[in-house]
Amino acid sequence: MHRISKICCILLLAQLYSPGQAQTAFLQASRIFEGDIAELVIEYDSKIPSLYALDLSALEADFEVLDVESGVARMLEANEMFHRMKWKIEILPRRTGSLGIPSIKVGEVSTAVLNLEVVRQSPALLARQNVFFEIEAQPQNPYVGQPAKIITRLLHNIPISDGNLLEPGADNTEVYRSNRDSRYLVKRAGREFNLLERSIAVVAQSPGVIMLSPANYRGLINAIATSAVASPTVPSRRIYRNSETLQLQVRNPPTAFSGSVWLPARQLEISQRWDVIDDGLKVGGSLGFNLTIEALGLPAEALPSDLISANSDKYKIYADQELRSNRFQNDVLVGRLEQRFAVVVSQPGEITLPATILKWWDVTQDIERVAQLKSRTFSVTNPAGTQSGITDLSRASSNFSPVAGTEFISIRGNWLWFALLSLSLMACIALFFDTPARRRISRKIESVLASRSNLQALKKACLTNDPRNARRELLKWGRRRWPGANIGGVNQIESRTGSIEFSNELSRLDRVLYAQHDSSWQGRRLWQLVVTEAPCHPAGSDPDPNSLPSLYPPQRLSTR
């Protein structure tokens, strides 16, 4: 009987210590300072590896769970293979004192209850190892759409490393970062500190009170050895520091503002740059110019496009796609919009382009201001050798700058020039004596310019590896390539190309767009495949077989 009892005890002990039990649960340090990060380690052995999803809700009363890392290691013991699962849990105490870490279930077992002591730093230690935040907003009461400059300063009188600083933020806001930090020395209360300063611009999209989340810093204070008895060596510590919470009181636009687009800025300028025409402006020709708007203290996304849209029976204005950019000047956000326009003239005489007025709000003086472009008058003459009212619209394409990345096929041979001149002459006659034909040609010009703009934007997105803009412009291209197909997704383009390589590139684009993490996407091959596809059939093109011939020579797209 005694022998049986002894065997049962041995089997019971083997069961208790066999793989499949929670081996250990311990704290890397059982006593930490206020503001330090504690690390809870749990190890669990099993023959079958299984990284259980730990239920850490019991910790939330006294701790903030910052991070959880897990891993598996294969172990060999007594000629028996098993797996050791390990969890490292970073926790931040919410208060000082003696805090209990409750039991946590792992598989079929539970960890032991642990105790963590959280104490305040002594004045002497704080004088040696002090890390804290300063934060401010300029201004604290911005208008809707006006960037508020948020300045965060991390001060420390001891070397810190392995750090990560997270800026403040809030819902319903846009954040612009300069990606540039400043470092210098300052004095606080007679003590010298290293200072890390970072500025961001926060733009609120709606009025009211906005609470910005605190800035925070996670890093490491390295151990410092000293021979002084009164100042013993302090071990390395992982620290977590929060700034104060900022509150912005966002205001509505003032009732005194009379503009159509709300533009709150410190300074705003608008300018034009015209192309040079050596032989004057002729009927059927075009005049191109660039319009630039630059605003100090306003993002480029807020600047209005297509400011110039006036048309008359003597001319028509076409707008190209705008280019927007943001930069920081002395930690102040500067937005810039550039857009190209073409004025196509159809009758001789004088034409006057009206003045352009853009109203904006000076947030420094709190008054309305006006940026203005003066009106301009041009003299238009008939081309040499043509009768009054007969135009050569083929000049409209030659004077207007082509989209970057496109080339025109040169036409050689006198008979080709004669044929082109004849077709242009027929088009011009129809333009002035047949109203439906004039409308068709006007639509053709608009369609060609829109197609060029689309190709320019698509090429830029592909060659700069911008998947979101590439998808948007690709859908526009698909609608022009297959008019009437109601293209709404990349898959509809994929089903119509008939190219396996094209299909693979489109699938790769979709996977990148819907991936949970940022992925590296190269768009050059997609652009090359777009170029080699059959020419687009612009939406709205005239299906009438008796319609006038194209006013523009065929294009050969460059993939450079």
* pLDDT (tens digit per residue) in 167-185: 998 888 999 998 889 999 9
What is the pTM assigned to this prediction?
Answer: 0.61
CB-CB contact of 361 with 252 (8 Å): no
**For residue 516, pLDDT beyond 90:** no
How high is the pLDDT of residue 437? 55
pLDDT band at 507 (very low <50, low <70, confident <90, very high): confident
| Helix or strand run (H / E) with residue 480 | helix 467-481
> What would the mean pLDDT of 499-522 be, rounded to a whole number?
71
Fold matches, 19-120 and 124-250: yes
pLDDT band of 422, cuts 50, 70, 90: low
pLDDT at 340 over 80: yes
pLDDT value at 439 more than 60: yes
What local confidence, expressed as pLDDT, does residue 14 receive? 42
Kindly tell me if the per-residue pLDDT of 267 is higher than 50.
Answer: yes
pLDDT in tens, 367-420: 999 999 999 898 988 876 554 443 443 343 334 343 333 333 333 344 444 545
pLDDT at residue 233, rounded to an integer: 55
Does 149 have pLDDT greater than 90? yes
Residues in the chain: 560
Q: Hey, where are the domains in the chain?
A: 19-120, 124-250, 260-401, 406-560
Q: What share of the chain has pLDDT > 70, as a percent?
A: 76
Spatial CB neighbours of 336, under 8 Å, sequence gap ≥ 6: 292, 293, 294, 295, 300, 303, 324, 325, 326, 327
Tell me the C-alpha to C-alpha distance, in Å, between residue 480 and each of 207, 406, 462. Answer: 41, 17, 18
Tokens read off for 81: 């293979």
Contact between 420 and 428 under an 8 Å Cβ cutoff? The reply is no
**How many other C-beta atoms are found inside a 10 Å radius of the C-beta of residue 507?**
13
Contact 54, 106 (CB under 8 A): yes
More confident residue, 502 or 484: 502
> How does the average pLDDT of the chain come out, rounded?
79
Q: Long-range contacts for 273-280 (Cβ within 8 Å, ≥24 apart)?
A: 275/399, 275/401, 277/399, 280/379, 280/381
Residue pair 473/493 in contact (Cβ under 8 Å)? The answer is no
Q: Which pLDDT score, from 0 to 100, does residue 101 have?
A: 93
Percent of the chain with pLDDT over 90: 38
**Highest-pLDDT range among 169-183, 254-268, 282-296:** 254-268
193-197, 280-284, 286-290, 442-446: range with lowest mean pLDDT: 442-446
Question: Which residues, other chains included, contact 139 with Cβ-Cβ below 8 Å and sequence gap of 6+?
Answer: 148
Q: Which of 143, 194, 133, 206 is nearest to 167 (CA)?
A: 133
pLDDT of residue 140: 95
State how far the Cα of 36 lies from the Cα of 63, in Å rounded to an integer.
Answer: 12
pLDDT at 130 over 80: yes
Q: How far apart are the first and last CA of the chain?
A: 91
Domain 19-120 part of CATH 2.60.40: yes
- pLDDT in the model for residue 224: 63
> pLDDT at position 321, please?
84
Strand, coil or helix: 399: helix
Q: Per mean pLDDT, which range of 105-114, 139-148, 510-519 is the poorest?
A: 510-519
pLDDT tens-digit map of 2-12: 554 444 444 44
Which helix (H) or strand (E) segment holds residue 521: the answer is none
* Residues 448-473, mean pLDDT to the nearest whole number: 85
Q: Is the pLDDT of residue 298 over 90?
A: yes
For 294, phi then psi, to 5°, come to -130, 130
More confident residue, 448 or 544: 448
Kind and range of the H or E element at 138? strand 131-138
Which token pair is 417?
A: 């020039």
Ramachandran area for residue 330 (φ above 0: left; ψ -120 to 50: alpha; else beta)? left
Architecture of domain 124-250: Sandwich (2.60)
Question: What integer is the mean pLDDT of 48-60?
Answer: 83
Mean pLDDT for 114-127 is: 91
- Please check whether residue 308 is in contact with residue 353, taking contact to mean a CB–CB distance below 8 angstroms: yes
